[in-house]
Amino acid sequence: MLIPLTIGKLIDFFSSPQTTFFGLSFPVAAACLALTFAIGAGANTGRAILMRLSGGRIVARVREQAYLSTLRQEPEFADRGAGDIVSRLGIDTSIIGESLTNNLSDGLRAIISAVVGVAAMVMISAKLTGVMLAVVPPVSIGAVIYGRYLRKLSKQTQEALGEMSKTAEEKLNAFKTVASFNAQPIEARLFAKKVDDVFQLMRKEAIASGIFYGSSGLTGNLAMLCLLGYGGHLVSRSEITVGDLTSLLIYTGYVGGSVSGLTGFWTGLMKGVGAGTRVFDLLDRKSAIPLSVGKTLEPGREGPIRFENVSFTYPSRKEVEVLKGVDLQIEVGTSLAIAGPSGSGKSSIQALICRFYDPNSGRVMFDGEDIREFTPESWRERIGVVSQDPTLFTGSVHSNIAYGREQTTREEVEEAARMANCDFIWDLPQGFDTQIGKASLSGGQKQRIAIARALVRKPSLLLLDEATSALDSTSEHSVNSALDQIIRTQNISVILIAHRLATLARAERIVVLENGKITEDGRYSELSRRPGGRFRTLMAAQLALEKNRSNEGEDDEEVEVEVAKPATGAGEDPKINQV
């Protein structure tokens, strides 16, 4: 801030050499200034480093906490699309970091420069300063209006970016589906549309910023012109020197730069607020099913699970009642299969058991207590889940089986793998240390690793959702024998959802769910013989389907082997043996 003053004094010094710089001779003043500039340079270096570091730290902490908060939400929350959440964690947090550090630092510097500049100008000539300050009110009003508009635009832009990421993420995750349908041009168009949405918003921002900066520049230049005219007049009347006028003009440039820096600071802040709203949405969101609220369920406690008149609708589709007054009891250590047409609510029963959702009415009880009494964390500890298409994560076979339990030993992992019939692991090049990804194992192998992953937790309840429906008969056979072994040898309650007869036959008890209601309940041997029964009808359809499949070339022998060693109650139906 001393430079304009120095230049003014220098001009006056050359026109009249007896001029001093605040009483100092010019060489001494120059030395002092050099020192001041050196200190200034050091401070600037420190500012740049500290601001970048603190910005990086803010972004890192906001990201970590927002990610943790996201992971602790109820599963329904993730249905809004991972792409949008990833864009919040990536782009929006960067904008916040930028806004809070570089922007804040530039803003502070602009405020200090403006205040010191105006003070120096008042010191040189209060009259001329008054002329210059006339531009401040219109520019400030313009900045406020522009800032508000920008905040709105910024939020819309971040949302559009989120949509764009969501679209790309979904399709890139289904790369093979897109390729097999030759849908690349359609997907490219869809993505281009999302990109265009972002571009349109950026265009609005570009026009608004052009108008704002153009008009505030014009206002500044006009003020400069007035200053020059009026200043020249004051010089001609010897009220100020040429050096003073020069200093004043340069200060005006400084202050003008600071004011435009301040508007940049304001608009940057507004951008940050826009992005911040989206990140704080994640950070502040209270989960509908908080993970740590309730009492901790003691690990060894056993008891039946009971659905008491449970009705349920998904929060995102309130108009469809998925479960309608379901009553169901699952005794400790028994196996139950849920059969029923597609969309009848089978998976929803498992989702309620896992407490991914809460019922709208009725209760899910464990050992006489509503499961809502327990923390979802401690409740889920006792449940092992195997889904139809289990996800394996990048890492070793060991880390996939030990997923969620870092302290699990190799012996425990191997024991679970044995129980889940995962013999193939021992034949892999590096055994349990073999690195696997999303796509490096067959469906049946993945499924068995998923069963081992569920078993390693030593669950007291195992949930299998159509664990065999996507498999060929060989893989189905391996998975089913693993299942047999578990049902027979472990004291685990098993709830399995299945369409395939060979899998259903493994359970000690079967319930048929239709349109959200239990319509039949009994042992396999009873239900498959009940004349006109729902299960019998369903099975006849399934039987025809499976027969068709075998005729089309599936390995009949495998299926026979399947049924040759069914669990209690199965294998008595001649139709099944026929399969």
Ligand X SMILES: Nc1ncnc2c1ncn2[C@@H]1O[C@H](COP(=O)(O)OP(=O)(O)OP(=O)(O)O)[C@@H](O)[C@H]1O
Q: Which residues in this chain contact ligand X in the complex, by CB under 6 A?
A: 79, 314, 316-317, 320, 322, 340, 342-348
Q: Which is nearer to ligand X, 65 or 519 (CB)?
A: 519
Q: Which is nearer to ligand X, 16 or 316 (CB)?
A: 316
Q: Minimum Å distance from CB 341 to ligand X?
A: 7
Q: Which is nearer to ligand X, 216 or 344 (CB)?
A: 344
* Distance, CA of 159 to CA of 92 (rounded, Å): 10
Q: Which residues of 430-452 are buried (b: 16+ CB within 10 A; e: fewer)?
A: eebeeebeeeebebbbbbbbbbb
Tell me how far CA of residue 154 lies from CA of 92, 95, 168, 210, 284, in angstroms: 10, 10, 21, 16, 20
Q: Minimum Å distance from CB 356 to ligand X?
A: 9
Q: Which is nearer to ligand X, 151 or 346 (CB)?
A: 346
Q: Which is nearer to ligand X, 241 or 503 (CB)?
A: 503
The CA-based angle 32-35-36, given to 5 degrees, is: 85
Closest listed residue to residue 133, CA positions, set 118, 113, 115: 118
Q: Minimum Å distance from CB 364 to ligand X?
A: 15
Q: Burial of 279 by CB count in 10 Å (0-12 exposed, 13-18 middle, 19+ buried)?
A: buried
Q: Which is nearer to ligand X, 120 or 326 (CB)?
A: 326
Q: Which is nearer to ligand X, 213 or 314 (CB)?
A: 314
Q: Burial of 489 by CB count in 10 Å (0-12 exposed, 13-18 middle, 19+ buried)?
A: exposed
First to last CA, the chain: 92
* Distance, CA of 380 to CA of 382 (rounded, Å): 5
Q: Minimum Å distance from CB 308 to ligand X?
A: 19
Q: Which is nearer to ligand X, 387 or 396 (CB)?
A: 387
**Three-state SS for 395?**
strand
CA-only gyration radius of the chain, Å: 36
Tell me how far CA of residue 498 lies from CA of 184, 328, 469, 513, 554, in angstroms: 35, 17, 7, 12, 19
* Distance, CA of 111 to CA of 259 (rounded, Å): 8
Q: Which is nearer to ligand X, 252 or 287 (CB)?
A: 287
Q: Minimum Å distance from CB 79 to ligand X?
A: 6
Q: Which is nearer to ligand X, 13 or 314 (CB)?
A: 314
Q: Do residues 306 and 334 lie in contact, with contact meaning Cβ atoms separated by under 8 Å?
A: no
Q: Which is nearer to ligand X, 376 or 516 (CB)?
A: 516
Q: What is the largest CA-CA distance in the chain?
A: 121
**Three-state SS for 174?**
coil
Q: Minimum Å distance from CB 479 to ligand X?
A: 17
Beta-sheet pairing, 369-370 with 361-366: antiparallel
The tokens describing 291, both together, are 């993970």
Q: Minimum Å distance from CB 313 to ligand X?
A: 8
Contacts of 496 (CB under 8 A, 6+ apart): 335, 336, 337, 338, 463, 464, 465, 467, 483, 503, 504, 506, 507
Q: Minimum Å distance from CB 327 to ligand X?
A: 17
Q: Which is nearer to ligand X, 327 or 423 (CB)?
A: 327
* Distance, CA of 161 to CA of 149 (rounded, Å): 18
Q: Which is nearer to ligand X, 20 or 361 (CB)?
A: 361
Q: Minimum Å distance from CB 61 to ligand X?
A: 32
Q: Minimum Å distance from CB 550 to ligand X?
A: 22
Tell me how far CA of residue 530 lies from CA of 250, 252, 268, 465, in angstroms: 98, 96, 72, 26
Q: Minimum Å distance from CB 286 to ligand X?
A: 20
Beta-sheet pairing, 317-330 with 435-436: unpaired
Q: Minimum Å distance from CB 255 to ligand X?
A: 58
Phi, psi of 522 (to 5 degrees): 170, -175
Place of tokens 């299942």: 483
Q: Which is nearer to ligand X, 357 or 432 (CB)?
A: 357
Q: Minimum Å distance from CB 324 to ligand X?
A: 11
Q: Minimum Å distance from CB 387 to ligand X?
A: 10
Tell me how far CA of residue 165 lies from CA of 4, 177, 229, 385, 478, in angstroms: 49, 18, 55, 30, 39
